[in-house]
Structure 1
Amino acid sequence: MYQSDSEGWASSKDLRSHLGHLESELLFLSTLTGISIRNYSMKTEDLANTEKTEKSMKKVLQRHRLSGNCHMITFQLEFQILEIQDKENLSSVITDLNIIMEPTEYSELSEFVSRAEERRDLLMFFRSLHFFVEWCEYRKRTFEHFKEKYPEAVHLPEGAASSYMVVQSTRQPGFELVIVWRVQIDEEGKVLPKLDLLPKAPQQALQLDRNRVLETAPLSFRALLGALGIEAALESLIKSLCTADYGRFPADSQVSKMPQEAPRPYAELTCSPRSP
């Protein structure tokens, strides 16, 4: 870590003590949030007051630069903070924010980053990024769990880190369920899981489906999510398709604790009635 302005320290011992304290705080922050700061620098500039009414005010412009990562996502930040101090008050405001993200497969982040830059909201950026990564990691563990538990029925064409999982019947070729699990960030920075169920079946089966079971399956899945939650709903879905494939199911087990921002019941989860 590097800070350009160190003239204010009384001795090198005081500076080392302060840096040691900062390193401890950063380590705690990294452990708590998964966000690690690798490089940091700051420069300050005293701004001259030209107006007579502002002679009693002191303005300082801070230019900050830092880089870091939140698990597998890396970022660079450049932002400016204007401090204004008069005889009674000290105020500060972020006047500029630039976020550079390394290329990722998460297209959802692009719009979110633009929104955070426009609002100059550092808190929203870090908070939302933390929960976004938590949800992506939880989705990956969930997909891996069901792939391991039902290896013949569950398929991950693009790997566990992708946004969808395919469940196929080994006894009834052509029958499959595609679960699309997106992680979205709303206008206020809240991170929400969005799950869609896309059923696929042979044309002959669709013609014989007089009770419209396949057509209404996505809406039934939505109700199941609201009642059971994600893991139990996926488990029930897999079992309903693969009852003929497994004489005895493996014992139920939970993947892991969900991210703290998980809404329950899942009123925000949506399912699309259309097949791909």
Structure 2
Amino acid sequence: MYQSDSEGWASSKDLRSHLGHLESELLFLSTLTGISVRNYSMKTEDLTNTEKKEKSIMKVLQRHRLSGNCHMITFQLEFQILEIQNKESLSSVITDLNIIMEPTEYSELSEFVSRAEERRDLLMFFRSLHFFVEWCEYRKRTFEHFKEKYPAAVHLPEGAASSCMVVRSACQPGFELVIIWRVQIDEEGRVLPKLDLLPKAPQQALELDRNRVLETAPLSFRALLGALGIEAALESLIKSLCTADYD
């Protein structure tokens, strides 16, 4: 009797240790990727054919459902995995994927979600979502940094989480630089930033711009991005318009 109780206690202790280890791993993954899973369930269905010629092939359909979030973006996933096992091998394939995301201001995600569902590519969904959110958070921090550093010149009409930053100079009324910073997800799931410059100026200034400085400004800005990087290019842009404001 004593031996049995001791074995039961050891088994319970091992289970608690194993669960603690799993919780630590989940916490680490959540910290690393920003993805947290709140609810998860799975159901299985045996699809093995009972006919004699098919007896050696086992088929199991797994139905998974989970919900979670990646920082500020929440999602629900429903997907099916078909496992086929014979004497030589075991294979698994995702046969169906449905992604439900709560409405967000990130319009880029809609097309990406449809593409992930069509390809039934869970890995691409999680990987691209992680990097998409990372870029959006970086954009927000960058906009907030410049708003704090140049409060009179930098304006965020739709908030720091938007894709737009406006630069105005008190010394040059009518001149305005609009930076549009989008975060795009390409066909392969790669997440890339895309920044564009839209200069605005009074009509009189446009007529006097014989060297087409304003017209070529967007191309010059892209060259600046390639040479300096995002933050240094934005800093240079702000200073070029607002130098007198901060002398």
TM-score (norm: length of structure 2): 0.92
- Please, which runs of 5 or more residues in structure 1 have no aligned partner? 247-276
Pair 1:192–1:169, CA change in 2 (3 A): same
| Superposition deviation, residue 51 in structure 1 | 5.5
Contact 2:61 2:81 (C-alpha < 8 Å) held by counterparts? yes
Pair 1:242–1:2, CA change in 2 (3 A): farther
Aligned CA-pair RMSD:
5.0
- Please, which runs of 5 or more residues in structure 2 have no aligned partner? none
- Count of residues in correspondence between the two structures: 246
| Superposition deviation, residue 2 in structure 1 | 33
Deviation per CA, 1:138-177: give whole Å up to 9, x if none.
0000000000000000000011000010000111111000
Question: 2:244 is paired with a residue of what secondary structure?
Answer: coil
RCO comparison, higher one (Cα < 8 Å, 6+): 1
Question: 1:187 is paired with a residue of what secondary structure?
Answer: coil
Contact 2:124 2:189 (C-alpha < 8 Å) held by counterparts? yes
Deviation per CA, 1:163-202: give whole Å up to 9, x if none.
0100001111110000000000000000000001000000
TM-score (norm: length of structure 1): 0.83
Deviation per CA, 1:24-56: give whole Å up to 9, x if none.
221111011000000111111111315554220
Contact 2:40 2:66 (C-alpha < 8 Å) held by counterparts? yes
Which deviates further from its counterpart, 24-33 or 3-12?
Answer: 3-12
Which deviates further from its counterpart, 4-13 or 167-176?
Answer: 4-13
| Superposition deviation, residue 12 in structure 1 | 6.4
Pair 1:226–1:110, CA change in 2 (3 A): same
| Superposition deviation, residue 22 in structure 1 | 2.6
Distance 1:168 1:2 in 2: 81
Question: 1:8 is paired with a residue of what secondary structure?
Answer: helix
Q: Percent identity?
A: 94
Distance 1:13 1:28 in 2: 23
Pair 1:7–1:241, CA change in 2 (3 A): farther
Contact 2:183 2:191 (C-alpha < 8 Å) held by counterparts? yes
Contact 2:48 2:57 (C-alpha < 8 Å) held by counterparts? no
Pair 1:242–1:116, CA change in 2 (3 A): same
Contact 1:35 1:71 (C-alpha < 8 Å) held by counterparts? yes
Question: 1:225 is paired with a residue of what secondary structure?
Answer: helix
